[in-house]
Structure 1
């Protein structure tokens, strides 16, 4: 018996169960699915055509999956095993194991894939698919059928012990179901005989045959006659021939070409020479017809798919052309509106950009001015206050000159004139740093000379001056330091300034004010870097910048 013919009925029941488990009775929205079902197993070419339409045009994933499952069954039944396998695997991609309404279809797909692999003699894959399908089966009947097919696969693969174990369990489960019991009993006896040719399987095989005769189970009779013919081939050739003839008659009654060919093959091997010719002629005719039918079916299925795709392509092109015409009309209407809107938006944005640029320029100028006021006036005034505080014998004329110089610098800020006294830069730094020295605070400079500043840009000098001034002002205001050391070095085309004091220091979490933010901006402006160190006492700051700074 061909397992494929048997499972066809089971698959039809499984697919019906898929549909009955849908969420609503109206879930089949594509009439072509029902149309295909009306042709299924009656005119499979037409059924395949309608199922293919559903698979390529439906929007419901379950409808698409059912269509591909039907197509896979039809292809496998018509002999296109690989085509059927492809369609069944495609069906699984549209199903979700977590959805209750999909589970029946999933089990059907896996079970039919097991049958396809069994027919292709890929026994390992067949068992895996059968067991996957078994996980989604709920009916005891369908579970027993799946287990019977697993046992049959083990039998064909020569794993007789595994097959016998399953058949023994199934005999108990199917004791009240005559047809199922007969099938299991016949397969059980055949497997025991295949494992041990001396096993007396005749009694059990004849018992299964009698049950099938009483039940008018023609498909089951085909299997029983085949098993009995094989069993008696070597021991009772006459009996083997008798059962082979009975099988051929049942196969003709069932209109099964595959079973007729197998029966004829057995008759050719058992019949007397004078009877061989009619059997051989019929065998050759059926074999050629079956092969031609399978080839035609494969070509027909491929042609149906091609024509469907071509039709969909033509319809899609027509739809695209219609949509393009509509788009052209709509675009023509909105084109000038879009252009006009774009010009208006661009004009408004341009006005906003001009206004924003003006505001930014004003803000930058204000920031620049406030920075100069802080650096020149505030820090300069603080230096004068420091001199007055720590120098009891200060020269009044010198004090007036410093205040007047500060006044002139503040006037220069209002006119945006560059503040660049014509004195050497190293001397300017010396005066700046020593001005913060007092009886309570000693300021020391190490490595500072005119050579330190050779080839440095005047912009860098200007920024360094105000960086050092901000450091010294902060030291004077907050550090309570007794000793301040500034070390200057030139290394690898960079100038390094090391600031160290023995004051109270400050926490690393301290938030810096505007003064240090200005200083940080100045360091970055001359492409410099800085680091803070927080020893147990005091503060260490390292500042470096490239000699070859370019403005």
Structure 2
């Protein structure tokens, strides 16, 4: 039987343990003294990467280092996790006694089973696997059953039960193994997992073969077919080997064929123990030169395995010794570090005092700047109020006075006088609304484009037609808010200037993106304005200043009685 292939459940549990205990550790660390687990997690991650690359000595080193770091932090979950992987590596490399010793280190930590449930399961599975490999089947069954009684899920439990059947098979109790395996074949979680299902029916076929049952070949062939579909080389190896054993007494040629296929797969996956099992079967099936060839190969591989495993045992022992010595040195240095920490604390107190003084200085400066900003805002509000007051006086006062005088001196019963009064009141309303719009806040959000259009459309009258082109082609959301405000005010200034001075009937405003710049062209068919007059127009000066403030350019093209044109652009 090929036992090591069934350790997938062990790997899954190791990963599940690490993730679960990481989450549990985060919850426990929501206290005033949080532990920094970054370094431990980094060491564990390195251990996993070396394991995946089959650099087992390096993997063992980093898991042992993570265990040592976790012991300092008193992080039980990561101690158990590291021990589990260390024991697994020792089992994989044939250091079974060392693996047992390593796993037993974790048993005292598992007393609080509610706190580390997956750690308990993991250690028990590791011990069961280790005892299974050294044919201590009773102990293997004992620890597998303890693993089932701990916290686990249905799929993993099925894999553990399958491993229990392997122990009974090794004991020669094939009937019990079959009774354990048959209920698994109808379990939903097993049937939905083709790899697990193939493993179980392959084991059934092997046990039926040991009992001489005719059912054996059906299960063995079915398992092989599923594994070939899944392209599972290690699993196909097991099927080929069991088929070779099945045909050994009835068809020696076919048995040898399957044994050679199994040996080839074992060589591909670089698994020496499986190669030895296949060679042992080939030695039994052959004679003459082939027997000699397979025997010599067997001796060579077996000798190499012995040397490799002895070397691994020595490496593991040295790694543990080195870390034990390092631990003792750390304890010695701990007292020295404590003294250094006290000295550092005194220095920190001085630093904190300086920091407090610095914070007081910063707060004082911040208060000064806030007060200064407040004064500037008050001054800006005063200037705005002054400007609005001047507009009200210059643009509305005379109109209001004349309208009042008209209402007092004229006969309002006549239709003509009523219309004149209504027209005057409408003019006053429009002027008031324009002053309000000129000084109101501008929405620079999603409503900006609609407010811009409303403002421009507001200058349409029966005598003046304002045409707007390309405004919807601009991606206004990409424009900075202060630039949106400048666009709004510049267009407003141009249209106010038009209304006051142009005497035009048509205005065209064109918006377009020119490379990475926004270009706005204004044209009307009014009386135009001379260059000498241009300087005296406050509104146009404001337009020019605003555009220059955002690193833009502006060009006035004007000729008297030939209309007025302005072209401006600025970076988006």
Both proteins in one fold, TM over 0.5: yes
Where in structure 2 are the equivalents of 1:247-326 lying within 5 Å?
247-320=262-335
Pick one of 60, 64, 75 that aligns with 1:48: 60
Aligned to 2:351: none
Post-superposition offset of 1:309 = 1.5
Aligned to 2:126: 112
Deviations 1:457-489 (A, max 9, x none): xxxxxxxxxxxxxxxxxxxxxxxxxxxxxxxxx
Q: Give the stretch that moved more between structures: 111-120 or 272-281.
A: 272-281
Deviations 1:195-229 (A, max 9, x none): 2x253522321121111111112121111111111
Deviations 1:59-101 (A, max 9, x none): 211111111111111111111111111111212322345435x
Aligned to 1:2: 2
Gaps of 5+ in 2: 30-36, 343-572
Where in structure 2 are the equivalents of 1:509-548 lying within 5 Å?
none
CA contact (8 A) 2:113 2:120 kept: no
- Which of the pair has more CA radius of gyration? 1
Instruction: Give the total of aligned pairs.
Output: 325
Aligned to 2:443: none
Where in structure 2 are the equivalents of 1:327-346 lying within 5 Å?
none
1:23 aligns with 2:35: no
TM-score, normalised to structure 1, is 0.56
1:216 aligns with 2:231: yes
Task: State the SS of the aligned residue for 1:233.
Answer: coil
Where in structure 2 are the equivalents of 1:226-245 lying within 5 Å?
226-245=241-260
Aligned to 2:46: 35
1:131 aligns with 2:145: yes
Aligned to 1:11: 10
Q: Give the stretch that moved more between structures: 72-81 or 278-287.
A: 278-287
Pick one of 117, 128, 134 that aligns with 1:103: 117
Aligned to 2:514: none
CA contact (8 A) 2:17 2:122 kept: no
Q: Structure 1 14/322 Cα, relative in aligned 2: closer, same or farther at 3 Å?
A: closer
Over aligned residue pairs, what C-alpha RMSD do you find? 2.4
Rounded Cα–Cα distance in structure 2 between residues aligned with 1:222 and 1:325: 61
Aligned to 1:488: none
1:202 aligns with 2:217: yes
CA contact (8 A) 1:66 1:91 kept: no
1:169 aligns with 2:180: no
Deviations 1:322-346 (A, max 9, x none): 668999xxxxxxxxxxxxxxxxxxx
Aligned to 1:480: none
CA contact (8 A) 1:226 1:247 kept: yes
Q: Structure 1 238/314 Cα, relative in aligned 2: closer, same or farther at 3 Å?
A: same
Rounded Cα–Cα distance in structure 1 between residues aligned with 2:133 and 2:293: 29
Pick one of 187, 198, 215 that aligns with 1:182: 198
Q: Structure 1 233/306 Cα, relative in aligned 2: closer, same or farther at 3 Å?
A: same
Rounded Cα–Cα distance in structure 2 between residues aligned with 1:25 and 1:76: 31
Gaps of 5+ in 1: 328-551
Rounded Cα–Cα distance in structure 1 between residues aligned with 2:46 and 2:25: 19
Deviations 1:281-332 (A, max 9, x none): 22111111111111000000000111112223233334446668999xxxxx
Q: Higher relative CO (CA 8 A, sep ≥ 6), structure 1 or 2? A: 1
Q: Structure 1 207/25 Cα, relative in aligned 2: closer, same or farther at 3 Å?
A: same
Aligned to 2:135: 121
